Amino acid sequence: MKYTRISINTATPAEARSRVMIIYTGGTFGMTYDESGVLIPFDFSLIKEQLPALRNLFLEITVISFAQPVDSSNISPEHWKAIAEIIFENYQDQDGFVVLHGTDTMAFSASALSFMLPGLGKPVIFTGAQLPISQSRSDARENLITSLEIASAKISGKPVLPEVCIYFDYQLLRGNRAKKVESMHFDAFESGNYPVLAKAGVKIDYNLAAIAQAGEEPLKLLSKFDSSVAILKLFPGISKPMVEAVLNTTGVKAVIIETFGSGNAPSAEWFVSCLKSAIKKGIIILNVSQCPGGMVEQGRYETSKALAEIGVISGSDITLEAAVTKLMILLGEYGVDYTRAAIGKPLTGEMAY
């Protein structure tokens, strides 16, 4: 992948307080109108003019821009690899990272990055905007300024946020717990199963009890993905051919069943036996609830008891976004057997237990 690199010292003539790298991948955030009225990617060398408030942050900012910024609906594991490599290669020189990304798949990318960077001890803050930075009512300015402040925040010389997060509309969320829930208003993200990590108001209030602790391990980079994953979303009246088609997809290694409520599914004999024969063939079946809050508890109701008995793995309170990316990275790095044993256990704060 090709990049452009720009250095901006927002502190001059004073000395910069911290160093933050912005990785610009695309999305609505960076759009601006050219003279003929066409939306084109924003030129980051003009950021100080667009955002004079940057000066008050006293930061040395390096911007790495994808040469071809993408709408986040086109994001793929190749892009996750590119973002993670940039972070890994610049890790020692920077105090924190801000990833500018389209909102549509931001929760997938933030989840993927959280699994790709074990040992992370510095902030990686994803943000974006619902309106382009060039528009007067845009949320881009606040989202970027506060993300930069969070990415450079320290307590007793240590980064406050040694984890991958999403900052949006005055809220900081754990990346692998977040979901896009709104496409028109500014409050685009929620993390139904995990507390907000910080709220930005007159000051930024950090919820220190909910923020991960940095470990002793050095940063590692995991970047092998296996996308042989499918999702089977259940609905009342779902047909046997439909279920069979997903479970029999050529090459599939893991299927997420998106179930009702606390992990419930039809108890029809044909449905349970379809799952049973997939499991027999070695396919991993993971139970993730369609509810944005609460968790899977297989066996709580009759309609989920059979799932536990045939070897469906409980996804606990994991989001679909975290489940998909966790499966892809575990399958890619370690293969099916390891993934089967590890998928139901917390790896990096993405699930309760």
- CB of residue 73 to ligand ASP, shortest distance in Å: 6
Residue located via tokens 């099916």 = 336
Contact 283, 312 (CB under 8 A): no
Instruction: Select which of 4, 12, 25, 28 is catalytic.
Output: 28
- Smallest distance, ligand ASP to C-beta of residue 132, A: 9
Task: Give the nearest distance from C-beta 108 to ligand ASP in angstroms.
Answer: 11
Integer CA distances (angstroms), 283 to 173, 233, 275, 344, in order: 32, 17, 9, 15
Residues that bind ligand ASP (CB under 6 A): 27-28, 71-73, 102-104, 128, 130
From the list 99, 145, 91, the residue with the least C-alpha distance to 125 is 99
Type of residue at 135? Q
Q: Which residues make beta-bridge pairs with 264? A: 260
Residue with smaller CB distance to ligand ASP, 11 or 23:
23
Q: Which is nearer to ligand ASP, 72 or 228 (CB)?
A: 72
Identify which of residues 129 and 284 has a Cβ nearer to ligand ASP in the complex.
Answer: 129
* β-pair partners for 259: 289
Is 28 labeled as catalytic in the residue annotation? yes
Nearest residue to the partner ligand ASP, using Cβ: 102
Name the residue nearer to ligand ASP (CB basis): 104 or 163: 104
- Nearest CA-CA partner of 110 in 147, 141, 156: 147
Inter-residue contact 153 to 259 (CB < 8 Å): no
Indicate the residue among 105 and 339 with the shorter CB distance to ligand ASP: 105
Residues designated as active site: 28
